[in-house]
Structure 1
Amino acid sequence: MKRRTSVVDRLVVLAVGGSLLAVGALAVTWRLGLDAARNLVSRLDRARIASIPDQPWWPTALGATCALAFVAGVTLLLLNLRRGRTSTVQLGGELCGADLSVDLGPMAVGLASELSAFDGVRTVRATAVDDRGLPTLRVTVVGEPTLDLEDFTRNAEALAQSMAAALPGAAVATQVLLHLDPVDQSA
Structure 2
Amino acid sequence: MNRLPAAVHRSTTALLGLVLLVVGAAAIAWNLGVQPVVDWVERIDNDAVGSFADSGWWTLVLAGIVLLTLVWAVPLIVSAVRPGTVDDLELDGSDETGAMSIAPKLIAAAVADELDGEPMFTSVSARALDDRSRRIIRLEATASPERTYPEIAAKVGVVTDQIRDAVDGTDVHVQAFVHLEPRKVPSRR
| Fold-level similarity (TM above 0.5) | yes
Q: Is the 8 A contact 2:84 2:131 kept in 1?
A: yes
Distance 1:115 1:95 in 2: 30
Distance 1:12 1:134 in 2: 18
- Look up the match of 2:59: none
Q: Secondary structure at the match of 2:105?
A: helix
Deviation at 1:81, TM superposition (A): 6.6
Report the number of matched residues.
144
Deviation at 1:120, TM superposition (A): 2.6
Deviation at 1:95, TM superposition (A): 8.7
Deviation at 1:173, TM superposition (A): 1.9
- Cα distance per residue 1:109-158 (max 9 Å; x no partner): 11112222334311112211123433221122222222322221122122
- Look up the match of 2:38: 45
Report matched runs for 1:114-129 at 5 Å.
114-129=114-129
Matched, 1:16 2:13: yes
- Cα distance per residue 1:8-59 (max 9 Å; x no partner): 4432322334666897xxxxxxxxxxxxxxxxx974337849xxxxxxxxxx
Q: Is the 8 A contact 1:91 1:99 kept in 2?
A: yes
Q: Is the 8 A contact 1:119 1:147 kept in 2?
A: no
Deviation at 1:92, TM superposition (A): 4.0
CA RMSD of aligned residues (A): 3.8
Q: Secondary structure at the match of 1:100?
A: strand
With a CA cutoff of 8 Å and minimum separation of 6, indicate the structure with the bigger relative contact order.
1
Structure 1 residues 159 and 19: CA distance shift in structure 2, 3 A: same
Structure 2 residues without counterparts, runs of 5 or longer = 22-33, 43-72
- Look up the match of 1:88: 88
Give 1:153's aligned amino acid: A
Structure 1 residues 46 and 149: CA distance shift in structure 2, 3 A: farther
Structure 1 residues without counterparts, runs of 5 or longer = 24-40, 50-71
Report matched runs for 1:87-166 at 5 Å.
87-92=87-92, 97-166=97-166
Structure 1 residues 81 and 144: CA distance shift in structure 2, 3 A: farther
Q: Is the 8 A contact 1:118 1:152 kept in 2?
A: no
Q: Secondary structure at the match of 2:37?
A: coil
Q: Is the 8 A contact 2:142 2:180 kept in 1?
A: yes
Distance 2:185 2:37 in 1: 62
Report % sequence identity.
Answer: 20
- Look up the match of 1:33: none
Structure 1 residues 166 and 9: CA distance shift in structure 2, 3 A: closer
